[in-house]
Structure 1
Amino acid sequence: MGLFLAGCASQAVDLITPRSGYTLSQDLAYGPDPRQRYDLYIPDGATGQTPLVVFIHGGSWDSGSKDIYRFLGQAFTKEGFILAVPNYRLYPEVTFPAFVKDGARALAAIDTALLRGVDGVPGGRRPLALMGHSAGAQIAALLAFDPHYLLEAGSTPRRLSAFVGLAGPYDFLPLTDPRYQRIFPPATRAASQPVRFARNGGPPALLIHGRADETVAITNTQSMGRAIEAAGGSVEVELFDKVDHIGPIASFVTAVPLGDPAIRRAVFDFLKQRS
């Protein structure tokens, strides 16, 4: 499972992922940098009311790509969602908070494109949810709960109908790894912690974590859940036995049995109730 998103394994999953039932538009620009591109998965028969989910990929803020997530696009379109997967600039090209600002810029551009209509899909002010895995969950959580990012990008957190965080680092100070110390400069570290921005006005949140996760401590999700609850916000915390760090995202592979399908079902049920 730990090798799922690496090298040949991700290529193999891509090859066996069904190509029917949706269309894929690749490398749509939301900014001038080559990393400022997104892919858009649109289910057959989509309308101006088809709900949209923006997914922020993981990769320790220094790696990762939208290109390996066809399986996620297939799973979401099968359930009646449009899925957008943006890339964002990575360390060492940038440090925090540049990749969060890229996420905000991507979300605003994607929302605007779907509002106007794109690739034959009628425009409409559709439900918009935000989801992230690992480092992407940290980025997505800041977009959902620290209002200034989306406001600066021309959007607003009020536009979000839901937030889903998979195995996210939300409360990870102090930093002891020199690599992360470089990614998060000292003057910005406090602002990098989503737990500091938990508030009543944020979107309803679903936080998922595996009890066997040895990459991101489960205490991150527990801490974020407590903070949102203490602030009077809406949050559901789901912890899964025998699930590692990759397990929550691997659960969306439908071509072969990877991960715990209960995770996939929990996410779709949560999103559909808020679409």
Structure 2
Amino acid sequence: MQRTSVWQYLKLALGSALLAATAACSPITLLNTLTPEDTFALSEGIAYGDDPRQTLDVYTPRPAVTDAPVVVFFYGGSWNSGSRSDYKFVGEALASRGIVAVVADYRLYPQVRYPAFLQDGARAVAWTHANIRQFSGDPRKLYLMGHSSGAYNAAMLALDPTLLAAVGLSPKDLRGWIGLAGPYDFLPIENPEVKPVFFFPDSPPESQPINHISAQAPPALLMAASKDKLVDPLRNSAGLARKLREAGVPVQDLYFSRTRHTTLVATLSRPLRWLGPVLDQVTAFVRDTPVNEHAR
């Protein structure tokens, strides 16, 4: 057997072992256990509001950097589950590429419904914009990023200007945004867990990112699993990308065959990066997106 074939076999075997192990324990716990801690300095549980869920963690790259780009990350969980502590592997991945990562909690259903969790996201972005220089980040290089329902949060904050306006900011203050397997056009709602979050059957049309397209939207990088069974990539990522292009907004949309809905974000972890170049694409997008002259 050739050496390359051996390596390919070992990667597949490792991936299969990891995926099998996740059946016996939490996948996120396993990924975080395998995450190194020498690439970042972690500042935990910083409040951006008064509610216990209005807190965030900051991952500052190590060795020290100056004026680094900043990514605020929102996790998924159908707006009714999730914790910032579950996403150490995301913070480490971004910090290892010289990016200051902010992983934010936000209030969930049933405590709140739409649009309260988006208002939390806006407050987390405002806190980051005002304070990130203390953590070696440059607020003029500010990006939003999310997975699944977190990608929806990032999309709404980037596309609906009223959300950031409420905290004294604008989509022009963002250099770009990144969506992983995001639901951007999902009415009428079929998922029973999501229906009450958006007041089904009276879900407001303005809750949909695809209804907020304008030429002023920041550049976007949309990635999805080509065989995603939970969030249709053709309707959501491809559909949003098409509308953004029609409006003249710079957008890339990429689709990966080895990943599924959940493993798309898991490719940011070191053991599963072979499943798809998600981290490389994020790094290139953050590095190559032109400076927004209007950013503050």
Deviations 1:167-187 (CA, angstroms, capped at 9, x unpaired): 000000112344322110255
SS at match of 2:45: strand
| 1:228 paired residue number | 244
Deviation at 1:110, TM superposition (A): 1.5
| 2:141 paired residue number | 127
Change (3 A) 1:54 1:140: same
Aligned equivalent of 2:166, options 152, 166, 183: 152
Q: Which has the higher helix share?
A: 2
Q: Contact between 2:182 and 2:236, CA under 8 Å: does it hold in 1?
A: yes
| 2:94 paired residue number | 76
Change (3 A) 1:259 1:217: farther
| 2:211 paired residue number | 196
Q: Contact between 1:207 and 1:237, CA under 8 Å: does it hold in 2?
A: yes
Deviation at 1:155, TM superposition (A): 1.6
Letter in 2 for 1:194: P
Deviation at 1:165, TM superposition (A): 0.4
| 2:111 paired residue number | 93
Confirm whether residue 17 of structure 1 aligns to residue 31 of structure 2: no
Letter in 2 for 1:217: D
Aligned equivalent of 1:183, options 190, 197, 203: 197
Confirm whether residue 215 of structure 1 aligns to residue 233 of structure 2: no
SS at match of 2:243: helix
Deviation at 1:111, TM superposition (A): 1.5
Aligned equivalent of 1:242, options 258, 268, 290: 258
Task: Quote the Cα distance in structure 2 between the aligned partners of 1:52 and 1:136.
Answer: 17
Task: Quote the Cα distance in structure 2 between the aligned partners of 1:43 and 1:96.
Answer: 34
SS at match of 1:68: helix
Letter in 1 for 2:285: F
Task: Quote the Cα distance in structure 2 between the aligned partners of 1:157 and 1:2.
Answer: 42
Task: Quote the Cα distance in structure 1 between the aligned partners of 2:183 and 2:49.
Answer: 27
Indicate the structure (1 or 2) with the bigger Cα radius of gyration.
Answer: 2
Unaligned residue ranges in structure 2 (runs of 5+): 1-18, 292-296
The root-mean-square deviation of aligned C-alpha atoms, in Å, is: 2.1
SS at match of 2:248: coil
Deviations 1:20-53 (CA, angstroms, capped at 9, x unpaired): 0210011000001110000000012444411110
Change (3 A) 1:253 1:178: closer
SS at match of 1:179: coil
Confirm whether residue 53 of structure 1 aligns to residue 83 of structure 2: no
TM-score of the aligned structures, taking structure 1 as reference length: 0.92
Task: Quote the Cα distance in structure 2 between the aligned partners of 1:46 and 1:5.
Answer: 38
Change (3 A) 1:253 1:57: same
Change (3 A) 1:133 1:4: farther
Q: Contact between 2:128 and 2:139, CA under 8 Å: does it hold in 1?
A: no
TM-score of the aligned structures, taking structure 2 as reference length: 0.85
Confirm whether residue 269 of structure 1 aligns to residue 280 of structure 2: no
Identity of aligned residues (%): 37
Deviations 1:242-268 (CA, angstroms, capped at 9, x unpaired): 3210122111111x2356242221121
| 2:157 paired residue number | 143
Single out whichever of 53-62 and 41-50 deviates more from structure 2. Answer: 41-50
Change (3 A) 1:81 1:5: farther
Unaligned residue ranges in structure 1 (runs of 5+): none
Aligned equivalent of 1:38, options 47, 56, 79: 56
Task: Quote the Cα distance in structure 1 between the aligned partners of 2:185 and 2:221.
Answer: 16
SS at match of 1:137: helix
Task: Quote the Cα distance in structure 2 between the aligned partners of 1:67 and 1:247.
Answer: 18
